Structure 1
Amino acid sequence: MDLHNIITFIAVATLLVISPGPNGFLIAKTVPMSGQKAGFANVGGFVAAFYVHGTLSIFGISILLVQSAIAFTLFKMLGAAYLIWIGIKSIRSAINQKAITNISFPKEKQKKISIRNAFFEGFVTNVLNPKVSMFYLAAFPQFISLESNAFSAYSLVSAHALVNFIWFSIMVLALSRVKSISNSAKFKKWLNSITGVVFIGFGAKLALMKSS
């Protein structure tokens, strides 16, 4: 695999990573609520999921998602249900935050997500997203020749993971610098409400997605 293919793939992967999606909104929800470490745990989950999708694509298992309507539907509905569940949790948190504010407990703390659970949220959000598998299935034939080995394929997965890590790490660091805003009860209520609606929207969109 030549340098030109690698650079082209990185450019395509970068466009995919920086486009609005569940990952960015998950980071935007996690960091103000649970801190910088939880945000980086989200990112670690994203990266781990990419290697799962990459491995499945390299060994041809992900082709089932494209060739089998039942497998694709089951997989996307699991992913959609998970995204909608995160959305519902966020909206419930917004409602609880409003109730706490109305009862006037100004120092009541929002329950923070653990590092392990933050990693799990990032991992599951991506590993149950068939769009990632479809991206690899579409990209690998264009950037890897038939003579290439698994190492070449994993180098592309690593490039994608690195772009993802850099972009979302910047987002985590940026969000962690606005603590005065993110500690506001009104901001947390607004953020939970917005992210809840957005995640439900992403889940509905995924549920309606058709296999190409």
Structure 2
Amino acid sequence: MTPNPADASYLLPLAGLALANALGIISPGPAFIMVSRAAAGRNLRTAVGLGAGVAIAATLWAAAACFGIALLMTQFAALYGAIQLAGGLYLIWLGIGAWRSAKAKPAATASTTAPVDEARANTDESRDGLGRAVTVGAWLSLGNPKIIVFFSSIFVALLPPHAPLWVRLAAIAIVGAQEIAWYTTVAFVFSRPRVQAAYARARGVIERTLGAVLIGLGARIVTAVRL
């Protein structure tokens, strides 16, 4: 079967979308902080769950962008601002949880009930299992202004006008595959025993630092919202 030149012409824009999305993924943000923190300080299962949630939400944003929903939503300032506000407040909540968890008793020196006690003191993603971790990861991505801006502007601009359905589906698949691959890699790297041991030694400082970063990011988002 002879390849269709028109179809081949969409490969370059898809490669551009893949490159732009990859650069956006690897830039440090709230999702990276939460996934790496969960892998180093909790367990691989929770970290992978968080990453899966982020990937699911990002894929939904990509689908919305491909079919014009994301761009349409930005025209409704109140809805757009409400999503940003919810995301900012959630980051502040997670940051407070991280700060408070720095005071929790380390599992290595606690009694036999320490894992349960520490889980209760930690933030939601480490407390309620894989399903809860996926939910937290999705919220992080859905409420992240950087994600919203990327998919409602840059992503749409790179997507060829009047692109056929297969191109749109390919773009969505690329986003989903890149997101899950990146955050799964982060989870495995930060769950290595040496990384976890280093985290345990500096746990209090790391938790407070990450908590402060999350609170700062959340506060910046909240103060920038215009409803």
User: What's the TM-score bracket when you normalise by the shorter of the two chains?
Assistant: 0.7 to 0.9
Aligned-partner Cα distance in 1 for 2:46–2:184 = 11
The 10-residue stretch of structure 1 (58-67 or 131-140) with the greater mean CA deviation from structure 2: 58-67
2:95 to 87, 90, 103: 87
* Cα root mean square deviation, aligned: 2.5
Matched positions, count = 206
For the Cα contact (< 8 Å) 1:97–1:189, is it kept in 2?
Answer: no
Aligned AA (2:209): I
Deviations 1:117-155 (A, max 9, x none): 111111110012243232122234433333313442232
Distance 2:137 2:17 in 1: 23
Q: Give the counterpart of 1:53 among 55, 61, 73.
A: 61
Number of the residue aligned with 1:206: 221
Preserved CA contact (<8 Å) 1:50 1:157: no
Q: Using the TM superposition, give the Cα deviation of residue 210 of structure 1 relative to its aligned residue in structure 2, in angstroms.
A: 6.0
Does the alignment pair 1:123 with 2:138? yes
Q: Which residue of 2 aligns with 1:157?
A: 172
The Cα shift of 1:58 comes to 3.3
2:206 corresponds to: 191
- SS of 1:166's equivalent in the other structure is helix
Distance (whole Å) between structure 2 residues aligned to residue 137 and residue 153 of structure 1? 14
Specify whether residues 193 and 140 from structure 1 end up closer, same or farther in structure 2 by C-alpha distance, changes over 3 A only. Answer: closer
Contact 2:66 2:156 in 1 (8 A): no
The amino acid that maps onto 1:181 is A
What is the CA-CA distance between 1:106 and the residue it aligns to?
Answer: 6.6
Verify the 8 A CA contact 1:27 1:172 in the aligned structure 2: yes
Q: Look up the match of 2:19.
A: 11
CA distance in 2, matches of 1:41, 1:167: 13
- Aligned equivalents of 1:11, 1:209: Cα separation in 2: 29
Deviations 1:146-194 (A, max 9, x none): 3313442232232122222222222111111123333x3x432222211
Measured after TM superposition, the shift of residue 47 of structure 1 is 1.1
Percent same amino acid among aligned pairs? 20
Match in the other structure for 2:123: none
The aligned counterpart of 1:78 is 86
Q: Distance in 1 between matches of 2:214 and 2:184?
A: 21
Q: CA deviation at 1:30?
A: 0.9
1:139-178 → structure 2 map (5 Å cutoff): 139-177=154-192, 178=194
What whole-Å deviation, never above 9, does each CA across 1:2-55 have from its counterpart, x for those lacking one? 221122211111111111100110112211232111111111101110122123
The code of the aligned residue for 1:74 comes to A
- 2:198 is the alignment partner of 1:181: yes
CA distance in 2, matches of 1:11, 1:42: 23
Tell me the distance in 2 between the aligned counterparts of 1:106 and 1:190. Answer: 23
Gaps of 5+ in 1: none
Larger RCO (alpha carbons 8 Å, 6+ apart): 1
Q: Which amino acid in 2 is paired with 1:88? A: I
Report the equivalent of 2:48: 40
Question: Is 1:21 matched up with 2:29?
Answer: yes
Q: Cα deviation per residue 1:52-75 (whole Å; 9 max; x = unaligned)?
A: 212333343323542222222211
**1-structure distance, mates of 2:80, 2:222:** 11
